[in-house]
């Protein structure tokens, strides 16, 4: 009995049938595979954008009242508060050692009313852990290691080159003091203000402790959104062309457009910061993901 192979015709038929089946299968599989790749790419963009925009709106809620600044729509800056509270406005006859905050000049200490959140984490000029210089307005604004005490910040006038009379703008240093001692046991804050006194009292007896300015810059040339902190407080807002003198951390890539906007609000309505972020993958520039989110900012100083 002789074993039989296959003829050339049979081989050609098998090849043609295999090619037809492969083509049919490829047509049915290619679509779902490409769809999966596209969906994964879009999901990655949405996740990156959502993480970035949530970080911004969450952190901007910690802004010192009236400290939000926008430059050209692609630069956002604010002074971040570590904590805040109320100061004693008048001496208590029942407490001979009570210490109110005086605005006539020469005062260097006041009582904090109630418990102060994060009292022990305040970086004062005398704190060895902060390693900063002696407390003063100039020192705390120039040294990111030190916290600053701010009373009644209106942010006006915004131009620091104008005469300082009646101005209460923390970026200009008008109402900023260096913290000398934060005594959680006695419930007092000792401070040094270069001008001798805070220019205006807060109608609600409020004060804030600022730890650092924070900037978010959208650089469309590099398609990145970067976050900066730990740099000196200055009159001029950082921009994409002139960023802060520190290394920024990349918050998002593939950024093709972004817009920051700010409505300062009124005495009865909170301020509103809006962020619009557009992302597109370089492999699919025609597809864009646009995210928009708003955050209310308490602007009552």
Query: Does residue 20 fall inside a structural domain?
Result: no
Specify the higher pLDDT residue, 22 or 219. 219
Q: What is the pLDDT of residues 163-221, one digit of tens each?
A: 767 789 999 999 999 999 888 888 899 999 998 899 999 999 999 999 999 999 999 99
- Reduced to 3 states, what is the DSSP secondary structure of residue 165? coil
Integer Cα distance of 21 and 34 in angstroms: 20
* Beta carbons of 125 and 134 less than 8 angstroms apart: yes
DSSP state of 100: P
Q: What total of structural domains would you count in the chain? A: 2
Query: Does residue 12 fall inside a structural domain?
Result: no
Shared domain check, 218 and 73: yes
Integer Cα distance of 26 and 22 in angstroms: 6
Around 124, how many Cα atoms within 13 Å sit in the side-chain half-sphere?
17
* Beta carbons of 180 and 108 less than 8 angstroms apart: yes
Q: What is the pTM of this model?
A: 0.87
Integer Cα distance of 82 and 144 in angstroms: 13
Among the candidates 212, 246, 276, a domain finishes at 212
Phi, psi at 37, each rounded to 5°: -65, -45
State the chain's mean pLDDT as an integer: 89
Query: Does residue 25 fall inside a structural domain?
Result: no
Query: Does residue 74 fall inside a structural domain?
Result: yes
Q: What is the pLDDT of residues 214-243, one digit of tens each?
A: 999 999 999 999 999 999 999 999 999 999
Q: Give the residue numbers spanning the domain of 187.
A: 79-212
């Amino acid at each position: 009995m002789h074993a039989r192979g296959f003829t050339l015709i049979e081989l050609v038929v098998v090849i043609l049938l295999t090619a037809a089946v492969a083509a049919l299968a490829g047509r049915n599989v290619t679509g779902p595979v490409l769809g999966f790749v596209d969906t994964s790419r879009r999901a990655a963009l949405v996740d990156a954008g959502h993480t970035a925009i949530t970080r911004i709106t969450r952190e901007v809620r910690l802004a010192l009242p009236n400290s939000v600044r926008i430059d050209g729509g692609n630069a956002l800056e604010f002074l971040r508060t570590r904590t805040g509270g109320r100061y004693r406005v008048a001496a208590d006859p029942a407490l001979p050692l009570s210490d109110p905050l005086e605005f006539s000049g020469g005062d260097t200490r006041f009582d904090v009313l109630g418990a102060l959140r994060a009292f022990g984490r305040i970086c004062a000029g005398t704190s060895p852990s902060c390693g900063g210089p002696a407390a003063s307005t100039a020192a705390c604004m120039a040294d990111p290691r030190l916290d600053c005490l701010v009373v009644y910040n209106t942010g006006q006038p915004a131009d620091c080159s104008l005469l300082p009379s009646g101005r209460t703008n923390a970026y200009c240093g008008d109402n900023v003091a260096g913290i000398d001692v934060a005594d959680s046991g006695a419930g007092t804050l000792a401070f040094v203000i270069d001008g001798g006194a805070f220019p205006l009292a807060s109608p609600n007896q409020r004060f804030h402790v600022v730890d650092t300015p924070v900037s978010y810059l959208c650089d469309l040339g590099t398609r990145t959104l970067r976050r900066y902190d730990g740099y000196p407080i200055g009159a001029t807002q950082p921009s994409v062309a002139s960023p802060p003198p520190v290394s920024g951390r990349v918050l998002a890539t593939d950024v093709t457009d972004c817009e920051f906007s700010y409505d300062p609000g009124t005495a009865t309505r909170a301020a509103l910061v809006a962020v619009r972020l557009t992302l597109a993958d370089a492999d699919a520039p025609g597809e864009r993901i646009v995210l928009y989110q708003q955050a209310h900012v308490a602007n009552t100083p």
